[in-house]
Amino acid sequence: MEFRNERTWQNAADLGKTEDFHLNYEAAVGKVRAAFGDKHPIIIDGKEVWSKATFPDTSPADTSLVLGHFQKGTRSHAKQAIKAARAAFPGWSATPYLERVRTIQRAADRISERKYAYAALLSFENGKNRYEAVADIDEAADLLRWYATEMIRNQGYEHTMGQFLPGESARAMLKPYGVWAVVAPFNFPFAIAAGMSTGALIAGNTVVFKPASDTPYIGLKLCELLHEAGLPPGVFNYVTGPGATVGQELVDNEGVDGFVFTGSRTVGLAAFKTFTRERPKPIITEMGGKNPTIVTASADLEKAAIGVTRAAFGYGGQKCSACSRVLVDRTVKDAFLERLVLETQKLKVGDPTQRDVYLGPVINDAAVATYEKAIAEIRRSNGKIVFGGKADPKVGHFVDPTIVGGLPRNHRINKEELFVPILSVIEVNGLEDAIQVANDVDYGLTAGIFSREPGELRRFFSEVEAGVLYANRAAGATTGAVVGVQPFGGWKMSGTSGKSAGGHYYLPQFMREQSQSEYAS
């Protein structure tokens, strides 16, 4: 089976059918809007479950728009889901791997068929513009198909081993652990949720899935399509609710055998410590980044300005891979900064369902507060607001894409992940200085460079401490990893496993090895 990326927008552009892309998306916007306001259940063991309390899912672009009402799950619901997943594990793990693969492939096909409807819902729920929303859905389909391909390529991860004694027959295989908790983020609530869940499911594990409380609706769609594709009851359970209750139960409960999480460093580290406290258990976390782009004296400044702008402000800086620091050689700093501001000025902020809008809202009130606190701190520190610096949260959670300069290298803004559209410009003295600054943070997720010197590129690839590196990438200096092209995972505080999603080494993390030896009787 040959793997191919979905490439919806790129294919439309290549074939001269971009207007079809827009019309399909816009038709889907009207259809999904008609379904807003309904109540939605938790799904445990294939059955609807209703809690005593609900919470509204509102659009960050228009907080008066209620997309739906979702169940405020409790620890009891999480326990119920874990019990169902454990009961379903023997049957699912014994299912031949090719049958599990076919189920996942059917789910991928359904994603492809419904991509515009899912993308339109995503724009309403987490504020992505149409291009980013469709790309999120495409990535989900890609991840399902990639992992299906990997399972087939590795023949279910079973190998015949050597012989040491006469009559000896030995083999080694990877087997599933049991029940996995999957806790997804708001920023890629379909792609990352689907990828993490598929990693567990296709390996033969069962899943209890908790979506981010800001994006429960698209998580429900994932649950529905997996069941439509043929997952037996109890194999995938969907539980909405607060992290303090549902999420904490998934971390604390001894019935959970593995934990996979994408989100903040604080939550990820707390989960890591608690989950492995009593006994060794697998936990896979991706915990963000403080991603730099280096612009050298030899760089193509036009290309660099475009690539940095897209990486810093795509989806409002709310990507784990967003460029939040640009390290510019002092000899080209002024010329680069001028181009960077010109590119940023082109970005329209507003309703993400509109065709010409690049930057929608940040996700919630807390993100606006983070932005405003950072801007105030920058001003107090005598930093310079080069562009932006204002919030306008009257209707939705809107803030300006913002460029700042003049902050000390060790300033908090240059060290901590903010997850809002603030880009700090740092002057450096040559490549050696730039690499030192790039590495002088706790994180190591992505990094980029713009340079025309092959020797500088070799040194960048050799010395920068991050899991995903790009050179001269105008499409996004630090962002836009593609499944099967750029495996995505972090070093240092950006992740705990050192193995990357969408790559060759991801699936084995959801399994453990067993050797089986048989002798002539």
Q: Is 158 a catalytic residue?
A: no
- Using only C-alpha atoms, the chain has a radius of gyration, in whole angstroms, of 23
Catalytic residue among 125, 132, 320, 323: 320
For the record, the structure tokens of 488 come out as: 């995505």
22-34 burial, b for 16+ CB within 10 Å, e for fewer? eebbeebbeebee
Q: Is 323 a catalytic residue?
A: no
State the distance between the two ends of the chain, measured CA to CA, in whole angstroms.
40
For residue 515, count other CB atoms closer than 10 A to its CB.
Answer: 10
185 close to 263: Cβ distance less than 8 angstroms: yes
Catalytic residue among 286, 417, 427, 456: 286
135-161 burial, b for 16+ CB within 10 Å, e for fewer? bbbbbbbbbbbbbbbbbeeeebbeeee
For residue 461, count other CB atoms closer than 10 A to its CB.
Answer: 12
- Element of type H or E holding 272: helix 265-275
123 close to 133: Cβ distance less than 8 angstroms: yes
C-alpha 92/C-alpha 15 separation (Å) is 42
C-alpha 16/C-alpha 479 separation (Å) is 26
CB contact set of 261 (below 8 Å; sequence gap of 6+): 183, 267, 268, 271, 283, 284, 285, 286
C-alpha 157/C-alpha 520 separation (Å) is 25
For the record, the structure tokens of 271 come out as: 């989960």
94-126 burial, b for 16+ CB within 10 Å, e for fewer? eeebeebbebbbbbbebbeeebbbbbbbbbbbb
Residues carrying an active site annotation: 286, 320
